[in-house]
Amino acid sequence: MEIGKVPHDVLKNIVFDKLKFFDPDVMIKPGIGEDCAVLNCGEQLAVLSCDPITGASKEVGRLAVHVSCNDIAACGIRPLGLLVSILLPPGTTENDLENLMTEIAETATAIGVSVIGGHTEVTDAVTRVVINMTAIGISRKEKIICSSGAKPGDKIVVTKTVGLEGTAIIANEKEPELKKVFGQQFVDKAKSCITQISVVEEGIVAGEIGPEFVHAMHDITEGGVFGAAWEMAEASGAGVIVFADSIPVASETETICGHFRLNPCRFISSGSMMVATSNPELLIEKLNEKGIRATVVGEFLEKADERFIVKTGEKKILEPPKSDELYKLD
């Protein structure tokens, strides 16, 4: 298999199909495109998600917090706690660990989420730092939003610009090369994309509008905006059409993708939330009031086998997500 997410057919046939037992209080179980598990806890729901950081070697503490909390935000609620598992390669210094924990602590504090436990060890099973985080949120039952609720006719709204995470990662990992070609000012601006990685605020805004108008959310990660659209359609049993010419891409992302011959629409995109809504005008208005850019980029369709991309007037089949563009780099 290629580096990146395990292909969806393999996930279904080898991973998910092996899972036979679920307690009656498991309300949302594993599935393609589902960001979180949801447990019935009486008058409230516990929302849980876990994510690793493996595609970056710099700013990994900040990325790990944001990526995990974004999944909880995709349910329309604010994350409450984080369990942090850190695997360190041999040779890691105490100073390295202190810097990593500073990143985690500062980012968690900025979001307003507590680090409540975890595990830390040095192991020769890894050659660089690997962080896995479990994020937890609590929700009232009537407020929950999941990835699988998109309905035919819903518009697809994406926030900010796509490719923010990938832009920040490559700007850090390839700084000397990018500095030589485009200059330090460009590199610094591209690296600053990491400050936009959180989608907690847009998730809260959509959650406050509620499931009457916001039917599904999915934070855009590996596979980019095209992958997220396919995953949300798959989870919802719907078709989808994406208007590629409407997808917002920052100039720094366009430049980096052009330089490395990457597709920004299939580029890891934490920092951008995908929302299925029957009232895009209301959602965009509320997001804009918070200073968050939002753009309609597509629509969900009745027939599940109709999944398309339209670019410059040409219609193509929207394929299931494959290995992210990030992994094309040496």
- The residue-averaged pLDDT of 41-46 equals 89
For the chain, the maximum distance between any two Cα atoms, rounded to a whole number of angstroms, is 58
Q: How confident is the model at residue 123 (pLDDT cuts 50, 70, 90)?
A: very high
Superfamily of domain 155-328: PurM-like C-terminal domain (3.90.650.10)
Residues 186-223 have pLDDT tens digits of 999 999 999 999 999 999 999 999 889 999 999 999 89
Check residue 12 and give its pLDDT.
75
User: In whole angstroms, how far apart are CA 230 and each of 218, 273, 279, 320?
Assistant: 11, 14, 21, 6
**Fold agreement between 8-143 and 155-328:** no
Share of residues in the chain with pLDDT > 70 (%) = 98
Residues 231-276 have pLDDT tens digits of 999 999 999 999 999 999 999 999 999 999 999 999 999 999 999 9
55: pLDDT strictly greater than 70 = no
Residue 101 to residue 86: CA distance in whole angstroms: 10
Check residue 262 and give its pLDDT.
96
Q: How confident is the model at residue 56 (pLDDT cuts 50, 70, 90)?
A: low
Q: Range with the lowest mean pLDDT among 51-60, 68-77, 137-146?
A: 51-60
Which burial class, exposed, middle or buried, applies to 273 when counting CB atoms under 10 A from its CB (0-12, 13-18, 19+)?
A: buried
101: pLDDT strictly greater than 90 = yes
Topology (CATH) of 8-143: 60s Ribosomal Protein L30; Chain: A; (3.30.1330)
57: pLDDT strictly greater than 70 = no
4: pLDDT strictly greater than 80 = no
DSSP letter for 41, please. E
The pTM of this model reads 0.89
More confident site: 265 or 9: 265
Using alpha carbons, select from 217, 212, 225, 199 the residue that is nearest to residue 278: 212
Average pLDDT over the chain, rounded to an integer: 91
Q: Can you give the residue ranges of every domain in the chain? A: 8-143, 155-328
User: In whole angstroms, how far apart are CA 103 and each of 63, 79, 100, 106, 313?
Assistant: 9, 18, 5, 5, 45
